[in-house]
Structure 1
Amino acid sequence: MTQGACPSCGASVEFTVGSAQVVVCGHCQTMVARTGVDLESHGRVARVVETDSPLRLGLEGRVNSSAYQIVGHLQKDHGAGPWDEWYVEMADGRTGWLSESEGAFHLLFDAGVEEGLELDALHPGDRLRLRNRPLVIEERGHGRVVAAEGQLPSDVDSSQDAYYVDATGPRGLFVTLDFGTRDRDPEVFLGQRLELSQLGIPANDLRPRVRKATLQQARCTQCNGPLELRAPDQTMRVACPYCGALLDVSKGKLSFLKLLQKPDLPADLSLGMKGTLDGVEWILIGYQERSCVVEGTRYPWLEYLLYHPTRGFTWLMESNGHWVFLKPLAAGDADVVPQSSAYYEGRRYKAFQSVTAVTDAVVGEFYWQVFQGETAHATEYVAPPYSVNEDATDNEVTYTHGEYLTPEQVQAAFKLKEPLPEPRGISPSQPNTRRKKLMETLVWTGIWVVALLALSAFLHARALNAQVLDMLVQVPPGASSGTPATMHFSEPFEITRAGNVRVEVAVANALDNAWVGVQGDLVNQQTQDVVSFYEEISYYHGRDSDGSWSEGGNQGSVFLSTVPAGKYVLRTTTSYDPNLGLQVANRGGIGYRVRLTHDTVNESWLVIALVLLLLAPGLSLIGSTGFETERWKESNLQ
């Protein structure tokens, strides 16, 4: 540790960090540098201004089981308000930087210089591999140091505008490429994104957030309407809900910028409303109307900005009654094939649309310098009910992960008394409820099919399937069709139990453009009851303008329903096509075979049941497919 007196005012200064080369005098803001054993003045730097940061010099915390202490503080600005960067010393002797951005923190460590990397070659949305790590560039910007306090690793020059590139990688990896005033060979800082709760700082040690009291109950400079700012320490611009005036807040007071067009779409949620989503109570601080034009048609939607003191900002989007809850997503966590597909958390998202989104109107507070006419290239990838959304400008690309919400879910989240409007059309990430019904129908159909097959197997096992008669019938050559001369009687046979009977008739001689009909009668020898059947066999063929054709065959079958048990005789009477008369005379008559099988399973009932069962999933499939067809009709990337 080095102690001494400030060369400018004589106040005591000390160096406690071995790597610190400069300490800012707490009395006169002189940058005191140590050169060997001597201390010398390197000019003055402005005093830090109060911001919304919960951190302060001297705080101690623990990240990934490593203790650290905040020993230095820089404030930087790129013209839109300052942000804070904290110099930290780890218990193991390493030093790093803890930066803040829109409620998120990034702990970074120096990883040396990357030679050959050029600033002009890096653009938001680009993918690169650095130190064997896949990265996606999220932001390219610049800023200069405007204030400092505590111990620092080097001098600061408030006149220099330094350039940087921020990129993210998988599993929370965050990388800053600090080009300084150079255009190549940046210093590389590797680290991770953290939430406030992950900094390991006791809640009682955190600095109370500064509240800009003058802004909490401010009035519009144009119409004098009351403006209740709900996040005054984070807000940079506010759009008056009464007159549409856009006001700048970055300097700690309201200053008029311009009058804006009011939104055309009616807002279903109001400023100041609180709603619970993702287990957190958010407050609605602003909303904007955005739109895109596709094939000459304008498509507008509303985006509601939600704020939570520790979770930062998030979005709730509404379009045609469809709602999507959007949470910030590090670009490096999603593997994107531009305008084709995206992969996130093991799920594939299909590219749906790519448009130029324009900000048409704004109301309420915003954490960036929003303006009417602001444009961004928006691309959406969907895996209903989820989506990955990319918004890209020349200097920044942001990703969000969306989850589709029904109007009923939004109504419950914000405790609305009146129901929200019903959705119109189909949203890109709207879940296909018809597909869910299809899957349920398929499950039940599968259960019933198994049950039917089991029943069929049971019936097959129980059936006797006994052949009780196999008889050859020969009609004499001179017999006339349908006369007693064609009648034939079988030997007696027995049916041992009540059951069906399958009759099979096969003509011995090949038919040629003719028919043969068999009238059969099963005569019960005890009761004289008769069970009758008729089976006609035919075969026709020929040629027409469409070519050769044929129909029929030389055999057929018929099922007799339940036949009582008993002893029977089969009586057959044969009729035939008159054209067969000459054939009968020439061939020695007509011959055919009759087989009777008792108690066999008739599979027709199973076929009919299966067909009826398949109607339900078939209709569900048509509905589900139709839903997807309607969805993808709106895509401009497929």
Structure 2
Amino acid sequence: MTQGACPSCGASVEFSAGSAQVVVCGHCQTMVARVGAELEDHGKVARIVETDSPLRLGLEGRVNGTSYQIVGHLQKDHGAGPWDEWYVEMSDGRTGWLSESEGAFHLLSDAGVEEGLELENLHPGDRLRLRNRPLVVEERGHGRVVAAEGQLPSDVDPQADSYYVDATGPRGLFVTLDFGTRDRDPEVFLGQRLELKQLGIPAGEMRPRVRKVQLQQARCTNCNGPLELRAPDQTLRVACPYCGALMSVAQGKLAFLKLLQKPELPAALQLGQKGTLDGTEWICIGYQERSCVVEGTRYPWMEYLLYHPARGFTWLMESNGHWVFLTPLAAGDANVVPQVSAHHGGRRYKAFQSVTAVTDAVVGEFYWKVFQGEKARATEYVAPPYSVNEDATDNEVTYTHGEYLSPETVRDAFKLKEPLPRPRGIAPSQPNLRRESMMRTLRWSAVWLLGLFVLAGVLHARALNARVLDLQVTLPRTATPGTPEAMHFSEPFELQRAGNMRAQIHMSQALNNAWVGVQGDLVNQDTQDVVSFYEEVSYYHGRDSDGSWSEGGQSGSVFLSSLPKGTYVLRTTTSFDPALKLAGPQLGPVVSYQVVLTHDTPNESWFILSLVLLLVIPALSFFFSHGFETERWKESNL
């Protein structure tokens, strides 16, 4: 520990951190540097501006088993408002920085210099490998130190513009490349994104969040309308909901910038409205109307900015009655093949659309310098009901993970009294409920098909399939169709049990451009009940302009309904084409055929009919599901 007097004002200064080379005098803001055993005056720096940060000098925390202490504090600004960076010393001898922005914290340790890396070669969305780690560039920016306190590793120059590149990698890896005033060989800081509760700092030791009271009850500088700011310490732009005036926020004051047009679309959520999503109560602090133009047609949508003090900012988007809840996603956590696909969380997302999104109107407060006409390249990758969304500008690329919500879910979350408009059309990430229905139908159809095959197997196993009659019928040449000469009687045969009957007719003498009809009557000799059937066999053939043709055949069959057991006789009455006598041989029969009766044989017609009916339902379900996807992807431009 080094103690001494400030060279400027004489106040006592102390170096308690072994890595610190500069300490900011708490009385006169002089940067006191230790050079050997001497203390030197290295100029002055502005005092820290009060922010909403819960951190303060001297706090001790613990992350991943390593303890640390906050020993220094910088405030930087790139023209859009200051952010806080805290210099920390760790128990294992490392040093680093704890930065906070938009409600998120990043604990980074110094990993030395990366030689050969050039600033001009790094752009948002670029992918690179650094020290065997895959990274995605999220932001490229610059800023100046505007205020400081405590102990620091080196001098700070409030006049110097320092350049940096932020990148992310898998599993929460966060990297800052600090180029300083150089264009190559940056200092590398490796770390991770953390929530406030993960900093390992006892809640009772953190500084109470200080609200800028003068902004919480501010008034519009244009129309004097009352404005209630919900995140005054992080708000950079405010758009008046009454007159559309856009105002900047700087040092606790509002300054008029310009008048904006009001949104054309009605706002479903109002400023200050609270709702619970993802287990967190959010408050709506602003909304903007954005649009894109595709093939000359403008497509507008609304985006609602939600805020929670601990979780920061997130979005709720509404388009044509469809809602998507968007949460921030580190670029390194999504493996993206541009305009082809994205992989995140073990799920593949297919590229759906890429458009130029334009900010048309804004209302409420925003954490960046929003302006009317702001443009970004918006690309959406979908795996319904989820999506990965990329918004890219020249200086920054941001990713969000979306989850489709029904209007009922949003209405219940925000306790809205009136129902929200019904969705129109199909949204990119809208879940295909027809597909879910199709999958249920397929599962049940599989069960019923299995049952059908089991039933068919049981019936086949139980069937007698017994040939009870094999009768040869030959008509005399003098026979006339339908007369007693064309009748024939079989010997009696026995049916041992009730069952169906299959009658088959096989022509013993082939037909040639002729037909034969057989009327069969099964007479129960015990009851004299008669069961009749008729089967016609025909065969025709010839040649025409299209070539040879034929129809029919030399056999036929028919199933009879169930017959009771008993003794039966078959009587056949034959009809035939009169031309058969002229076309037949001069000697021998004109008509000769075989009748075969098979008792208790499986009838496949019921099985085929049942199979068709069972397949029709899943086929229709597949058709409707496929139609939904077809309609969805009609809107894709990738």
Cα deviations by residue, 1:436-463 (Å, 9 ceiling, x for unpaired)? 1111222222222222222222222222
Whether 1:182 aligns to 2:156 is no
Cα deviations by residue, 1:297-340 (Å, 9 ceiling, x for unpaired)? 00011100000000000000111111111000001101111111
Q: SS at 1:373's partner residue?
A: coil
Whether 1:635 aligns to 2:636 is yes
Match of 1:66 in 2: 66
| Aligned partner letter, 1:187 | E
Correspondence list, 1:240-389, <5 A: 240-389=240-389
| Aligned partner letter, 2:362 | V
Alignment CA distance shift 1:24-1:608 (3 Å): same
For residue 194 of structure 1, report the CA deviation from its aligned partner.
0.6
For residue 587 of structure 1, report the CA deviation from its aligned partner.
6.5
Match of 1:581 in 2: 581
Cα deviations by residue, 1:152-189 (Å, 9 ceiling, x for unpaired)? 11111111101111011111011111111111111111
Cα deviations by residue, 1:478-519 (Å, 9 ceiling, x for unpaired)? 333333223222222100111111111111233222112111
Match of 2:618 in 1: 617
Q: How many Å separate the matches in 2 of 1:104 and 1:626? A: 43
For residue 476 of structure 1, report the CA deviation from its aligned partner.
2.7
Match of 2:223 in 1: 223
For residue 98 of structure 1, report the CA deviation from its aligned partner.
0.7
Cα deviations by residue, 1:359-403 (Å, 9 ceiling, x for unpaired)? 010000000011111110101111111111110000000000111
Q: SS at 1:249's partner residue?
A: strand
Q: SS at 1:254's partner residue?
A: strand
Give structure 1 stretches of 5+ with no counterpart: none
Q: How many Å separate the matches in 2 of 1:544 and 1:53? A: 95
Q: SS at 1:19's partner residue?
A: coil
Which has the larger displacement, 364-373 or 45-54? Answer: 45-54
Q: SS at 1:582's partner residue?
A: helix
Q: How many Å separate the matches in 1 of 2:435 and 2:176? A: 45
Whether 1:445 aligns to 2:445 is yes
Q: How many Å separate the matches in 2 of 1:586 and 1:442? A: 63
Q: How many Å separate the matches in 2 of 1:409 and 1:425? A: 19
Match of 1:538 in 2: 538
Match of 1:196 in 2: 196
Equivalent pair of 2:234/2:367 in contact (CA under 8 Å): yes
Q: How many Å separate the matches in 2 of 1:587 and 1:234? A: 113
Which has the larger displacement, 71-80 or 540-549? Answer: 540-549
Alignment CA distance shift 1:185-1:545 (3 Å): farther
| Aligned partner letter, 1:67 | S
For residue 247 of structure 1, report the CA deviation from its aligned partner.
0.7
Q: How many Å separate the matches in 2 of 1:526 and 1:278? A: 80
Correspondence list, 1:168-179, <5 A: 168-179=168-179
Which has the larger displacement, 495-504 or 481-490? Answer: 481-490
Equivalent pair of 2:302/2:319 in contact (CA under 8 Å): yes
Cα deviations by residue, 1:97-156 (Å, 9 ceiling, x for unpaired)? 111111101111122222221111111111111111111111000001111111111111
Whether 1:106 aligns to 2:106 is yes
Correspondence list, 1:389-428, <5 A: 389-428=389-428
Which has the larger displacement, 533-542 or 260-269? Answer: 533-542
How many equivalent pairs are there?
A: 637
Q: How many Å separate the matches in 1 of 2:361 and 2:617? A: 48
For residue 89 of structure 1, report the CA deviation from its aligned partner.
1.0
Equivalent pair of 2:8/2:30 in contact (CA under 8 Å): yes
| Aligned partner letter, 2:630 | T
For residue 583 of structure 1, report the CA deviation from its aligned partner.
4.1
Match of 2:502 in 1: 502
Q: How many Å separate the matches in 1 of 2:271 and 2:74? A: 34
Match of 2:604 in 1: 603
For residue 9 of structure 1, report the CA deviation from its aligned partner.
2.2
Q: SS at 1:182's partner residue?
A: coil
Q: How many Å separate the matches in 2 of 1:89 and 1:514? A: 107
Percent sequence identity is 80
Match of 2:454 in 1: 454
Which has the larger displacement, 170-179 or 437-446? Answer: 437-446
Whether 1:550 aligns to 2:578 is no
For residue 610 of structure 1, report the CA deviation from its aligned partner.
1.9
Equivalent pair of 2:165/2:178 in contact (CA under 8 Å): yes
Q: SS at 2:439's partner residue?
A: helix
Match of 1:31 in 2: 31
Q: How many Å separate the matches in 2 of 1:580 and 1:127? A: 88
For residue 555 of structure 1, report the CA deviation from its aligned partner.
1.2
Equivalent pair of 2:94/2:110 in contact (CA under 8 Å): no
Which has the larger displacement, 539-548 or 217-226? Answer: 539-548
| Aligned partner letter, 1:538 | S
Q: How many Å separate the matches in 1 of 2:183 and 2:634? A: 46
Q: SS at 1:410's partner residue?
A: helix
Q: How many Å separate the matches in 2 of 1:541 and 1:342? A: 63
Q: How many Å separate the matches in 2 of 1:555 and 1:23? A: 109
For residue 620 of structure 1, report the CA deviation from its aligned partner.
1.8
Q: How many Å separate the matches in 2 of 1:563 and 1:301? A: 72
Q: SS at 1:478's partner residue?
A: coil
Alignment CA distance shift 1:587-1:503 (3 Å): farther
For residue 11 of structure 1, report the CA deviation from its aligned partner.
2.2
Q: How many Å separate the matches in 2 of 1:382 and 1:279? A: 24
Q: How many Å separate the matches in 2 of 1:550 and 1:252? A: 96
Q: How many Å separate the matches in 2 of 1:587 and 1:16? A: 131
Match of 2:482 in 1: 482
Match of 1:42 in 2: 42
Which has the larger displacement, 443-452 or 279-288? Answer: 443-452
Equivalent pair of 1:478/1:585 in contact (CA under 8 Å): no
Q: SS at 1:50's partner residue?
A: coil
| Aligned partner letter, 2:124 | P
TM-score normalised per structure 2: 0.98
Q: SS at 1:350's partner residue?
A: strand
Which has the larger displacement, 589-598 or 99-108? Answer: 589-598
Q: How many Å separate the matches in 1 of 2:546 and 2:54? A: 88
Q: How many Å separate the matches in 1 of 2:176 and 2:594? A: 93
Q: How many Å separate the matches in 1 of 2:464 and 2:241? A: 86
For residue 431 of structure 1, report the CA deviation from its aligned partner.
0.9
Q: SS at 1:429's partner residue?
A: coil
Match of 2:627 in 1: 626
Match of 1:85 in 2: 85
Match of 1:164 in 2: 164
Equivalent pair of 2:167/2:332 in contact (CA under 8 Å): yes
Q: How many Å separate the matches in 2 of 1:550 and 1:248? A: 89
Q: SS at 2:253's partner residue?
A: coil
Equivalent pair of 1:248/1:257 in contact (CA under 8 Å): yes
For residue 591 of structure 1, report the CA deviation from its aligned partner.
2.3
For residue 36 of structure 1, report the CA deviation from its aligned partner.
2.2
Q: How many Å separate the matches in 1 of 2:222 and 2:543? A: 93
